[in-house]
Amino acid sequence: MPQHRVQVTGFWMGKFAVTQAQWDQVAALPKTTKARYSLYADPADFKGAKRPVEMISWGWAVEFCNQLSCKTGRPYRLPSEAEWEYACRGGTTTPFHFGETITTDLANYNGSYSYGNAPQGESRSQTTQVGIFPPNGFGLYDMHGNVHEWCADVWNESYERAPTDGTAQNIGSERRDPYHAQRVSQLLRGGSWLNGPWSCRPAARLKCPRFGRTAAIGFRVVCSVSSPLQREGQRYGSR
């Protein structure tokens, strides 16, 4: 896919994917009058307070952000595809933020497959606790592997109509009501414990129906700020 140049404005991103402990805390909050979904405690297949929450649909992830925003007064949301890739790269342009290849001592993915000249490795067949692998240059953990992460964008085959300001790509009826067109697919990034290393690249894109829930899908949150990031105009979608 051709590269697409965007200018990303400032945002904060969770250093980890949302954990099961964090999910349960928000799920226990009183339901707001604007809530579209009820959040249930302990939905994950692979149990552990410090493991990422999974078995989460896109709508549930959006609702988590809304509930957290109501509780804290801060505008939490899912990242756009451009924001996610910018954050994953951590200022690099290599296929992975730690270099030209990937091994299972650096990330949790299906080690039955290899990338480039790297050897095959361990296949853990489950999630791991967040933060046990090295972070990227922005201090973010597990951007490669462990769980796929929902993005705000509706799935598109290309970047042809993607915004150049780093915001999410939402077209047609999704702009009016992003909750009811359940057949629409949303974007996933990051790869997971289930996938080979190719899916863990910063530029790798997958799709899933927004009602989809698997033990390989989680999410992390972002919060917008007014100041621009230092590395504006970085290209994404290449390697």
CATH number at residue 88: 3.90.1580.10
- The single residue listed with the structure tokens 């249930």 is 40
pTM above 0.95, yes or no: no
- The single residue listed with the structure tokens 């200018």 is 7
Given a contact cutoff of 8 angstroms between Cβ atoms, the answer to whether 25 and 225 are in contact is no
> In this model, does residue 14 exceed pLDDT 90?
yes
**183 lies in which domain range?**
1-231
Q: Is residue 237 part of a domain?
A: no
pLDDT band at 7 (very low <50, low <70, confident <90, very high): confident
- 30-59 per-position pLDDT tens digit: 887 777 888 999 999 999 999 999 999 999
- What is the average pLDDT across 214-228? 86
Count of domains forming the chain: 1
Q: Is residue 236 part of a domain?
A: no
For residue 225, give the DSSP letter.
-
Q: Is residue 238 part of a domain?
A: no
Q: What is the mean pLDDT of the chain?
A: 88
Q: Where is average pLDDT lowest: 5-19, 30-44, 90-104, 176-190?
A: 176-190
> In this model, does residue 193 exceed pLDDT 90?
yes
Of the candidates 108, 120, 113, the one whose C-alpha atom is nearest the C-alpha of residue 145 is 108
Quick one: pLDDT at residue 180?
A: 52
- 66-112 per-position pLDDT tens digit: 999 999 999 999 999 999 999 999 999 999 999 999 999 999 999 99
